[in-house]
Amino acid sequence: MMKITKLTPNFEVTDVKETVAFYEENFGFRLVMCVPETQDGIEQFLAEGTSYVYAMMQHGSVEVFFQRSDTFKEDVVFSRGLPIGASVSFYVEIEGIEEFYRAMKQKHLPMTELRTTWYGMQEFYVTDLNGYILGFAEKAG
Protein backbone atom coordinates (compact mmCIF):
# COMPACT_ATOMS: atom_id res chain seq x y z
CA MET A 1 0.00 0.00 0.00
CA MET A 2 1.21 3.51 -0.83
CA LYS A 3 2.35 5.71 2.07
CA ILE A 4 2.37 9.48 1.52
CA THR A 5 5.32 11.07 3.30
CA LYS A 6 5.19 14.70 2.14
CA LEU A 7 3.28 17.17 -0.06
CA THR A 8 5.19 20.06 -1.63
CA PRO A 9 3.48 22.55 -3.95
CA ASN A 10 5.43 23.34 -7.14
CA PHE A 11 4.29 26.77 -8.36
CA GLU A 12 4.65 27.77 -12.00
CA VAL A 13 6.06 31.32 -11.98
CA THR A 14 7.12 33.91 -14.53
CA ASP A 15 10.25 35.03 -12.65
CA VAL A 16 11.97 32.84 -10.05
CA LYS A 17 14.10 35.66 -8.58
CA GLU A 18 11.12 37.99 -8.09
CA THR A 19 9.08 35.19 -6.53
CA VAL A 20 11.88 34.23 -4.12
CA ALA A 21 12.23 37.87 -3.04
CA PHE A 22 8.43 38.15 -2.57
CA TYR A 23 8.25 35.05 -0.35
CA GLU A 24 11.30 36.12 1.68
CA GLU A 25 10.01 39.64 2.24
CA ASN A 26 6.34 38.89 2.85
CA PHE A 27 6.16 35.43 4.38
CA GLY A 28 9.61 34.83 5.91
CA PHE A 29 10.58 31.90 3.68
CA ARG A 30 14.29 31.31 3.08
CA LEU A 31 15.98 30.06 -0.06
CA VAL A 32 17.28 26.49 0.24
CA MET A 33 18.57 26.03 -3.30
CA CYS A 34 18.13 27.23 -6.86
CA VAL A 35 18.95 26.08 -10.40
CA PRO A 36 20.30 28.56 -12.96
CA GLU A 37 18.95 28.77 -16.51
CA THR A 38 21.98 26.77 -17.73
CA GLN A 39 20.69 23.86 -15.58
CA ASP A 40 24.29 22.76 -14.99
CA GLY A 41 24.25 22.71 -11.19
CA ILE A 42 22.59 23.70 -7.95
CA GLU A 43 23.28 26.97 -6.14
CA GLN A 44 22.51 28.14 -2.61
CA PHE A 45 22.25 31.86 -3.45
CA LEU A 46 20.72 33.90 -6.26
CA ALA A 47 23.51 35.59 -8.20
CA GLU A 48 23.26 39.03 -9.78
CA GLY A 49 22.88 38.83 -13.56
CA THR A 50 21.83 35.16 -13.55
CA SER A 51 18.40 33.84 -14.56
CA TYR A 52 16.91 30.90 -12.70
CA VAL A 53 14.48 28.14 -13.68
CA TYR A 54 13.85 26.66 -10.22
CA ALA A 55 14.06 27.45 -6.51
CA MET A 56 13.21 25.60 -3.32
CA MET A 57 12.22 27.65 -0.29
CA GLN A 58 11.46 26.70 3.28
CA HIS A 59 9.78 28.10 6.37
CA GLY A 60 10.02 25.77 9.34
CA SER A 61 8.95 22.34 8.11
CA VAL A 62 7.08 23.74 5.08
CA GLU A 63 8.73 23.66 1.64
CA VAL A 64 7.61 25.19 -1.64
CA PHE A 65 9.07 24.95 -5.14
CA PHE A 66 9.02 27.69 -7.77
CA GLN A 67 9.63 26.73 -11.40
CA ARG A 68 9.80 29.08 -14.38
CA SER A 69 6.92 28.68 -16.84
CA ASP A 70 8.85 27.34 -19.82
CA THR A 71 10.48 24.49 -17.89
CA PHE A 72 7.34 23.87 -15.82
CA LYS A 73 5.25 23.32 -18.95
CA GLU A 74 7.99 21.04 -20.28
CA ASP A 75 8.02 18.92 -17.11
CA VAL A 76 4.33 19.09 -16.15
CA VAL A 77 2.79 18.46 -19.57
CA PHE A 78 -0.78 18.65 -18.25
CA SER A 79 -0.22 22.36 -17.55
CA ARG A 80 0.28 23.26 -21.22
CA GLY A 81 -2.34 25.76 -22.33
CA LEU A 82 -3.32 26.58 -18.74
CA PRO A 83 -2.74 30.04 -17.22
CA ILE A 84 -0.51 30.69 -14.22
CA GLY A 85 -2.41 31.03 -10.94
CA ALA A 86 -4.93 28.58 -9.70
CA SER A 87 -8.48 27.79 -8.69
CA VAL A 88 -6.98 26.31 -5.54
CA SER A 89 -5.83 27.89 -2.32
CA PHE A 90 -2.92 26.82 -0.18
CA TYR A 91 -4.11 26.78 3.43
CA VAL A 92 -1.27 27.55 5.84
CA GLU A 93 -1.73 27.13 9.58
CA ILE A 94 0.42 29.55 11.56
CA GLU A 95 0.88 30.90 15.08
CA GLY A 96 0.50 34.63 15.77
CA ILE A 97 -2.10 35.37 13.09
CA GLU A 98 -3.23 38.77 14.40
CA GLU A 99 0.29 40.21 14.43
CA PHE A 100 1.05 38.65 11.02
CA TYR A 101 -2.22 40.05 9.62
CA ARG A 102 -1.37 43.58 10.84
CA ALA A 103 2.09 43.31 9.24
CA MET A 104 0.59 42.09 5.96
CA LYS A 105 -1.96 44.97 5.91
CA GLN A 106 0.99 47.41 5.90
CA LYS A 107 2.28 45.85 2.65
CA HIS A 108 -0.92 46.70 0.74
CA LEU A 109 -1.15 43.28 -0.94
CA PRO A 110 -4.49 42.03 -2.29
CA MET A 111 -6.02 40.36 0.76
CA THR A 112 -9.24 39.66 2.62
CA GLU A 113 -10.13 40.83 6.10
CA LEU A 114 -9.16 38.66 9.07
CA ARG A 115 -12.26 36.81 10.22
CA THR A 116 -13.28 34.02 12.57
CA THR A 117 -15.04 31.19 10.75
CA TRP A 118 -17.89 28.96 11.88
CA TYR A 119 -15.34 26.10 12.11
CA GLY A 120 -13.29 27.96 14.73
CA MET A 121 -10.38 29.35 12.72
CA GLN A 122 -9.16 32.92 12.39
CA GLU A 123 -8.09 33.30 8.78
CA PHE A 124 -7.43 35.59 5.85
CA TYR A 125 -6.41 35.11 2.23
CA VAL A 126 -3.79 36.89 0.15
CA THR A 127 -2.64 36.55 -3.46
CA ASP A 128 1.01 36.41 -4.41
CA LEU A 129 2.65 38.13 -7.38
CA ASN A 130 1.84 35.17 -9.67
CA GLY A 131 -1.85 35.03 -8.72
CA TYR A 132 -1.67 32.11 -6.30
CA ILE A 133 -4.01 32.24 -3.31
CA LEU A 134 -2.58 31.66 0.16
CA GLY A 135 -4.83 31.29 3.19
CA PHE A 136 -3.31 31.90 6.61
CA ALA A 137 -5.13 30.49 9.63
CA GLU A 138 -4.90 29.89 13.36
CA LYS A 139 -7.30 28.18 15.74
CA ALA A 140 -9.42 30.89 17.34
CA GLY A 141 -9.14 31.77 21.02
Task: Kindly list the domain boundaries of the chain, sorted by start residue.
Answer: 1-83, 85-141
Mean pLDDT of each 10-residue bin along the chain, 141 residues long: 89 97 97 96 94 97 96 92 86 95 95 96 95 94 84
What is the model's pLDDT at position 121?
A: 95
Residue 65, strand partner residues: 10, 56
Question: Is-same-fold flag (1-83; 85-141)?
Answer: yes
What is the model's pLDDT at position 1?
A: 86
To which H or E segment does residue 93 belong?
A: strand 89-93
Domain 1-83 part of CATH 2.60.120.260: no
What is the model's pLDDT at position 2?
A: 80
Fold type of domain 85-141: 3.30.720
Exposure b/e, 65-85, CB count within 10 A at least 16 = b = bbbbbebbbeeeeeeeeeeee
Q: Please state, in angstroms and rounded to a whole number, the distance separating the CA atoms of residues 94 and 89.
A: 15
Per DSSP, the chain holds a count of helices (H) and strands (E) of 3, 8
Parallel/antiparallel/unpaired status of strands 10-13 and 62-68: parallel
State the pTM of this model: 0.91
